[in-house]
Amino acid sequence: MRPSNFLLEDLKTKYAAQEASQAFLRLYEDQDFSQMFAVLHERLNRHFESINDRARSTHHYWADSSRDLIALIDELNQDLQGLKHAGIEVSFDDRYKQAIKRCDPWLSSSGGSTVPDDFEQIMVVKYEPVFVRPEMTARLEKRQSAVNLKMEGQGSYAIVYSYLDPDYDVRFAIKRAKKGIEERDLLRFKREFEVMKRLSFPYVLEVYRYNQERNEYRMEYCDDTLRGFIAKRNNKLSFSSRKRIALQFLYGINYLHGQKLLHRDISLQNVLMKVYASGAVLVKLSDFGLVKDQSSNFTRTQTEMRGTIRDPLLHDFRSYGVRNEVYSIGWVLSYIFTGRESLKSSDDEVSRIVRKCAAHDVSKRYQSVRDVILDVERLDATPTDSPA
């Protein structure tokens, strides 16, 4: 074993024997030196916080604490230098470098230390690392140049654009609230983002960041709506491909219901499709402006009845439940399997599923999306090479 390896092993052993709180360990994801960095960071913070307090009061830093800080500074410099000799570069936060430099002239190893009257408070860093290994980081470009937006579509209170990100060469979408919309529609728009931001599932559209100044948010880009995707391919889509699309759609809705959410605006336009060069596709549920949180007792009494596919047995949005959602699901399933915007009506198994979703007697409908999934999964589909 090389001498540098002995040094590294000794450092790891030394700091493994010292305690560090989770508040500091969570800041470091370095496989080898997280414990070391967390211990040093926490010890420095304790001293800096105490010095700030004494600078505001007695201007006297205790003798034992002074000696401990002097020893800590020596230990810090020696161990960082040791890492450097072993070929491991560590960047030490410049704010802390300057803090140590300002403390060094007045620290005394006997009788305590006098904090200068004009001592400037140290900025204590609690929520970001002060030790960073450059090889563990990557510099991200941040261009300020404007990008051209392409309008993709619009709804009652928002417009969707797309743009090609110059840093990543990837297309993203922007959903922007229309100017002059009513306050409650703007609140609905913001809540839509908040709901989608907390969701994480392959078949739910991903959103990224909200811009308060422009009332817009960024989201992943999809190539088409379900309506457009199937309309363009209806004559050549295999049954197996349709079944996979149907199941992705159902898995997405089932996930929402598992999160105690009801979409309330399921339509052929609000189901989006990501289309890959191989021909494979991913279903993405979008447009959560009318979403209902089943775990919340709060319901807007003036929420008007909206939605493209609406259960004719629904009298008001306050009473909207899972079986009303199942009605809309039936219409979407019918379109996926036929390409026609009407309920499939024949004697086959798909038609039976659709009829059960949209039954005029609500009690005879599927009680949950999981039950619909079970029946769709049982559908007999001839194996195919289609990648959808």
Could you give the domains of the chain? Answer: 3-136 (no CATH), 150-220 (3.30.200.20), 224-377 (1.10.510.10)
Distance in angstroms (rounded) separating the CA atoms of residues 209 and 211: 7
pLDDT for residue 296 = 61
- φ, ψ at 362 (rounded to 5°): -55, -35
pLDDT of residue 130: 94
Please count the helices (runs of H) and the strands (runs of E) in the chain.
11, 14
Higher pLDDT, 231 or 156: 231
pLDDT at 304 > cutoff 60: no
Both tokens of residue 139?
Answer: 């510099």
Using the predicted structure, report yes or no on whether residue 325 has a pLDDT greater than 80: yes
* pLDDT band at residue 6 under the 50/70/90 scheme: confident
pLDDT band at 384 (very low <50, low <70, confident <90, very high): very low
pTM listed for this prediction: 0.67
Q: Is the pLDDT of residue 380 over 50?
A: yes
pLDDT, position 39: 96
Q: Can you give the pLDDT at residue 300?
A: 47
Tokens in use for 362? 């609500």
- pLDDT at position 378 over 50: yes
Average pLDDT over residues 198-212: 96
With CA atoms as reference, report the closest residue to 372 among 355, 357, 387: 357
Report whether 329 contacts 357 (CB < 8 A): yes
- CA-nearest of 297, 319, 292, 273 to 195 is 292
Give the H or E element holding residue 335: helix 322-338
Asked whether the predicted pLDDT for residue 1 surpasses 80, the reply is: no
Check residues 175 and 29 and name the one with the higher pLDDT: 175
Q: In 3-state terms, what secondary structure has residue 224?
A: strand
Q: How many CB atoms neighbour CB 40 within 10 A? A: 24
pLDDT of res. 58: 95
Checking if the pLDDT of 388 tops 70, the result is no
